[in-house]
Structure 1
């Protein structure tokens, strides 16, 4: 599915949400307490964040950010606490209820890919769950993250003066896709995205 088509980002995000729900249905109780790739959050916490993200509206985001005194970390933590049910399966059920929503914070469409893909991996990798993401969506998320400052959850400072080479994505002439100029940073598209998103991934994944 071309990510540039009108409304394509929501169809892709909805598919990713449904896939994550399917992956999490049969987790053991202990699995929900597994530390995620998102520092300080468990798998259950990340799921609660995804519920909060799916229910966020433009006006609601502005009001919540103001209440959090423009502290994005505090904003996100409040969202987790608001949506984290006593039992993880109840949080998962709530995610299922809101998975088809199309509301969001007043941010670019590419942030929807960042939320769905990065947080999907935050949950899946520690649990050993493999998933194939739509590569065009991953690349759109990379393009967004390399221009977004670290303070806003991106990796602009990491990418500055570096050439990002996605070893599993090729251009029309058959060469690996590259973004930027400078010393090369190589990895699969998904690993580059996680790196740009501040995740502590396997050292051998990025070279």
Structure 2
């Protein structure tokens, strides 16, 4: 299992969320117009769509989330698309301004704070990887998210993805499970647990084939 020292308090998790949002804002501010239209690792979404989705996540509390899901009749693609339409600006600059304005917000649809750290950590890499941007989330943040993902199927089916596998990070304390080994950076392991199958290219070990097969395409 992940070493206890890697676990963050709720206060530390929210601080990490602010840090990762601010880092993404810095990266986004340097993009040219064409880069905003690049397809992200979320199948249906461009870079700009993902940013609008992150603004939605940062401004949607429990009651509003429930109302939106009910209005969409539990069609989560529709629920997400409506949020993107609401928070996407008339231009990439406006979309970025809207995201920048919520960097410090602590609104969330549930009290599962590691999940909302995972939201920004994973989606930031959904943007950075296709664009070739080198920045990585902090190891403490990545480890907290990986630990949360393998513990339950919540925002992503991470527990199911990790079942029967031994996961080992090469750059941090994350360790989980028993079985065929999957070894690589904490970032690549976290992204694979989040269903980003292409990130399995950065992993090694006899369990990679199994993990890749479990990584379903994702739109959010």
Q: Which residue of 2 aligns with 1:31?
A: 35
Q: Which residue of 2 aligns with 1:183?
A: 180
> Unaligned stretches of 5+ in structure 2?
1-5, 205-220
Larger CA deviation: 27-36 vs 104-113: 104-113
Any conservation in 2 of the 1:46–1:119 contact (CA below 8 Å)? Answer: yes
Q: Which residue of 2 aligns with 1:204?
A: 201
Shift of 1:4: 2.5
Output the CA distance in 1 between the equivalents of 2:160 and 2:111. 20
Structure 1 residues 186, 112: CA separation in 2 closer, same or farther (over 3 Å shift)? same
Any conservation in 1 of the 2:14–2:117 contact (CA below 8 Å)? Answer: no
The structure 1 segments of at least 4 consecutive aligned residues displaced by more than 6 Å after TM superposition are: none
Any conservation in 2 of the 1:3–1:9 contact (CA below 8 Å)? Answer: no
Shift of 1:72: 2.5
Output the CA distance in 2 between the equivalents of 1:114 and 1:203. 18
SS of residue in 2 equivalent to 1:165? strand
> Unaligned stretches of 5+ in structure 1?
171-176
Larger CA deviation: 93-102 vs 71-80: 71-80
Residue 156 of structure 1: which of 156, 159, 163 is its match? Answer: 159
Any conservation in 2 of the 1:191–1:201 contact (CA below 8 Å)? Answer: no
Shift of 1:196: 0.5
Q: Which residue of 2 aligns with 1:165?
A: 168
Any conservation in 2 of the 1:163–1:183 contact (CA below 8 Å)? Answer: yes
The equivalences for 1:107-122 within 5 A come to 107-122=111-126
Cα offsets for 1:154-173 (capped at 9, x unmatched) = 32222111111111124xxx
Shift of 1:149: 2.9
Q: TM-score, normalised by structure 1?
A: 0.89
Cα offsets for 1:65-93 (capped at 9, x unmatched) = 11122233322222112111221110001
Cα offsets for 1:5-62 (capped at 9, x unmatched) = 3411111111111111111112111110101011111101100001101111121111
SS of residue in 1 equivalent to 2:168? strand
Output the CA distance in 2 between the equivalents of 1:51 and 1:6. 21
